[in-house]
Structure 1
Amino acid sequence: MDSEKNLSKPRNSFTSSIGFVLAAAGSAVGLGNIWRFPYLAAKDGGGIFLFIYLILAVTFGFAMLITEVAIGRKTQESPLTAYKKLNSKWSFLGFFSFIVPFIIYPYYCVIGGWVMKYMFTYLAFLGEVTTEEGFFTGFITSQWQPILYTVIFALCCFIIVYKGVERGIERYSKILMPILFLIVVFIAIYSLTLKHTDADGVTRTGLQGASIYFIPNFKGLTFSKLLYIIVDALGQLFYSLSISMGIMVAYGSYMKKENNLGKSVNQIEIFDTGIAILAGMMIIPAVFAFSGTDGMSAGPGLIFITLPKVFLSLGKFGTFIGLIFFVMVMFAAITSAVSILEAIVSSMIDRLHWSRKKAVLVMSSVAFVISIVVCLGYNKFYFEYNLPNGAVAQILDIFDYVSNNILMPVVGLLTCLLIGWVVKPKTIVDEITRNGEHFARKTLYIIMIKFLCPVLLFVILLASFGIFR
């Protein structure tokens, strides 16, 4: 019966172009933009990283993003089945595109639970306790608290995806994304006004931190270091634009044929890159003012350990700033997690002809079981494993490494080979221009998808195995 119902129904779609753009941008604007982009920018010479990132965003990022959206709209299929429709011999690529979000979603819910814990703590006006020694470590290594918050976070995602494309994903994206943008702008502007004098009498300002962020630092720059920066920027684009995760294929399949595909992708790029840059303005000046350059290298601990100390130093107003910051991070985490779950659910609907209700219930349940295992990876199932890139990992890190460092570059590389050399770039170009739209970057697109993108993706894959260490 589920099969018959599904086959007789027209495919769900976003009701408007802006609905698609906000949903896709919501997917792109996630935790990677909030903490990973500022951290990499600070680590990789500020303005140098920004300059390289922007160049790659309008070339590599654009080519990969518009390809996936066009594949989705052309085939009207989810990632699991779309590639087979382009070429029956490439159905295996659909499987890889499905596995990526399936691996990511469970541990993303766990991290979302961490954000929710901090948001509730600030909501209870207890933000100062988050700065106590060992608070974060104590929380993630406890047995039941992380599971509880993971349940709450996953339930929010479940409800939105359960409601469907129009009544769930699009409706909530139209609400959450404008609020997220306003909060980011507010904190970014406020961050620039900060000023702090440490125990040694050294005064640092937010504006000084902003100058480190925006002005290129060529001191000590070597070819080897430049290569590292390029690899970091390329890796960040995967996080920032949600490419090679199956998400944009799924969202593209919900895009109406009459909408201007090229214009919509440009808007997603602008929105996502703007938020990423604003995230840097929001975090780097504040952290520099209170912790100097040392505080800017905190990596993943930036939002859970370093920033709460900054909020504490601002007094009572800092608790308010901390609250709206974690509300903003929560919105970003939910919009991204929803898109990841939708990529999984849509694949089950298209491949097995399940109803949305059945697909969301089954896949959410399976993902939740895996999420519990990830949570227990910090206590009951704790172990350490040395990854090929030199990092010491446990369960969450291994999931992240396999999905982001191996599978995503592989999916991207295979997509380039399929479009560039098997079905040919004209397949995508025709979809982009189907309504008579002018494709201004057509020549650049063909060069990127056939030659440059595969090379860059191969470099990322080599870097994930520690070749350049």
Structure 2
Amino acid sequence: MSDKTNQGGTFTGQLGFVLAAAGSAVGVGNLWRFPYLAAKDGGGLFILIYLILVVTFGFTLLTSDISIGRKTGVSSVNAYAKMKKGWGFLGILTFFVPVLIMTYYAVIGGWISRYIVTYLIGETQAAAGDKYFTGFITGEISPVVYALIFMLITAFIVYKGVEGGIEKASRFIMPLLLLMIIFIAIFALFLHHRDADGVSRTGLQGLAVYLTPNLEGLTLGRFLQILLDAMSQLFFSLSVSMGIMITYGSYVKKDVNLSKSIAQIEIFDTLVAFLAGMMIIPAIFVFSGTEGMGAGPSLMFISLPKVFAAMGVVGPVFGLIFFVMAAFAALTSCVSVLETVVANCMEIFHSERRKTTLIATVIYCIASVIIVLGYSVFYMEIKLPNGSTGQLLDIMDYISNSFLMPFIALLSTILIGWVVGPKYVTDEVESSGHRMSRKGLYVVMVKFVTPVMMLVLFLQSTGLLNFLK
């Protein structure tokens, strides 16, 4: 029985677990990073590669994390030590990932919340301005307020516990999120616009840009870069190698069919990412051509507001729906990150949930304010090992996502594949009496393929493979 069962929770069953895990997996990365990478990396070519990786690497990492959690019954900080003596350091490394991510996730949630208010009060044209987003995040009061509000909402859900907070919120948010995405994606396909030069573009043409594999100028180096981009997206998308799925796995009852649950999480997360691309790329193509598909936050906070402004009377409505949807995605992910931090601290300090949540909330409110002010009061530009430059938020993101996560995945696959053996995981998956699908694939992937790929991804993220770019 999980240690956390004694302190307030398990998921009520398979559906509650799947929705909560999918809620963690579906975050803002699905809504802007996947569409951006698809546009950058050859459209349908990236999608095809990503789908293959999901059912191989994604399946391997997700199965490992969830099974470790349920088998050990503890959070990531103690799970690896319980698996094998001498490997406790890996749990400590894993613990630091959500600790770092939590410093900035509420900040991003605050940015999204600001846009909800923007569309509610009808500032559609203002939001489309080139300097609107920059003007907001460089402020010293408004972005702080929005980040703190988002942080407090997140903390309230975690404070309520596993069943009464996380599962209850996920059961409401995730189906609604999916319906919103499907609605906007279908609407985007029927968009039509003629620009000042008389060039006419349709949503269906944008869909073709999204789905058609672009092989122009494809070299071995370029293919490897697309492969690494898709693999990096898996970490963002599936919440693997950051302790979240180990923690959620420890809340799963022994009679739940893990094999089926993992497949459902894969499908839900990939479907949302695919639909996000189907929603965003055609819309941007219709009103901005291919020039509007910028990288990172600019896609969500600069390019899309221009699209909503160009839609006319329906623009404010769709702008509001989109950012409410993005807020839901950010909230479920932020909840899972804070829950992982709280669950680990409960085990480390032997404290109860509510007290631990309150202390963590105070700490992360302070951290969020510091990160927010990294764009104004504490502004700096620091060169990162992968060649990019960034502020405080980018530094936290780089250390957690680009450095620690592939390194943790590399070590965990070595531990499972060569130290304790794949049977440690496969037996746990089948312990409920249900056969593990893709069992043979899992063994091959965790022993031979995944460690090599994780090593390459780690070297690339640290800048040692920048020659591929």
Q: For the superposition of Structure 1 and Structure 2, which TM-score range results when normalised by the shorter chain?
A: over 0.9
- Map 1:52-451; keep pairs closer than 5 Å: 52-451=49-448
Deviations 1:22-62 (A, max 9, x none): 00000000010000000000000000000000000000000
1:467 aligns with 2:464: yes
Which residue type is aligned with residue 221 of structure 2? S
Q: Distance in 1 between matches of 2:134 and 2:432?
A: 54
User: 1:370, CA displacement in angstroms?
Assistant: 1.3
> Contact 1:38–1:284 at 8 Å: present in 2 too?
yes
RMSD: 1.2
> Contact 2:104–2:393 at 8 Å: present in 1 too?
yes
> Contact 2:110–2:143 at 8 Å: present in 1 too?
yes
- The percentage of counterpart residues that share the same residue type is 54
User: 1:8, CA displacement in angstroms?
Assistant: 9.5
Gaps in structure 1 of 5+ consecutive residues: 1-5
Q: Distance in 2 between matches of 1:371 and 1:32?
A: 19
Q: Distance in 1 between matches of 2:362 and 2:85?
A: 31
SS of equivalent residue, structure 2 residue 358: helix
User: 1:368, CA displacement in angstroms?
Assistant: 1.7
> Contact 1:349–1:359 at 8 Å: present in 2 too?
yes
User: What corresponds to 1:12 in structure 2?
Assistant: 9
Dislocated runs of 4+, deviation >3 Å: none
Deviations 1:305-354 (A, max 9, x none): 01001001111211000000000000000000000000100001122211
> Contact 2:97–2:405 at 8 Å: present in 1 too?
yes
Q: Distance in 2 between matches of 1:8 and 1:53?
A: 36
User: What corresponds to 1:45 in structure 2?
Assistant: 42
User: What corresponds to 1:3 in structure 2?
Assistant: none
User: 1:10, CA displacement in angstroms?
Assistant: 6.5
SS of equivalent residue, structure 1 residue 466: coil
> Which 10-residue stretch deviates more, 347-356 or 246-255?
347-356
> Contact 1:384–1:393 at 8 Å: present in 2 too?
yes
User: 1:467, CA displacement in angstroms?
Assistant: 2.6
> Contact 2:259–2:437 at 8 Å: present in 1 too?
no
> Which 10-residue stretch deviates more, 459-468 or 443-452?
459-468
- Residue of structure 2 aligned with 1:28, choices 15, 25, 28: 25
User: 1:462, CA displacement in angstroms?
Assistant: 1.0
Which residue type is aligned with residue 152 of structure 1? I
Q: Distance in 2 between matches of 1:368 and 1:10?
A: 24
Which residue type is aligned with residue 83 of structure 1? Y
Q: Distance in 1 between matches of 2:78 and 2:124?
A: 46
User: 1:266, CA displacement in angstroms?
Assistant: 0.4
SS of equivalent residue, structure 1 residue 196: strand
Structure 1 length-normalised TM: 0.97
Q: Distance in 2 between matches of 1:79 and 1:324?
A: 36
Q: Distance in 2 between matches of 1:227 and 1:166?
A: 43
Gaps in structure 2 of 5+ consecutive residues: none
User: 1:133, CA displacement in angstroms?
Assistant: 3.2
Structure 2 length-normalised TM: 0.97
Aligned length: 464
1:456 aligns with 2:453: yes
Q: Distance in 1 between matches of 2:164 and 2:208?
A: 43
User: 1:358, CA displacement in angstroms?
Assistant: 1.3
User: 1:136, CA displacement in angstroms?
Assistant: 0.5
> Which 10-residue stretch deviates more, 35-44 or 297-306?
297-306
SS of equivalent residue, structure 2 residue 201: strand
Q: Distance in 2 between matches of 1:385 and 1:425?
A: 41
User: 1:166, CA displacement in angstroms?
Assistant: 0.2
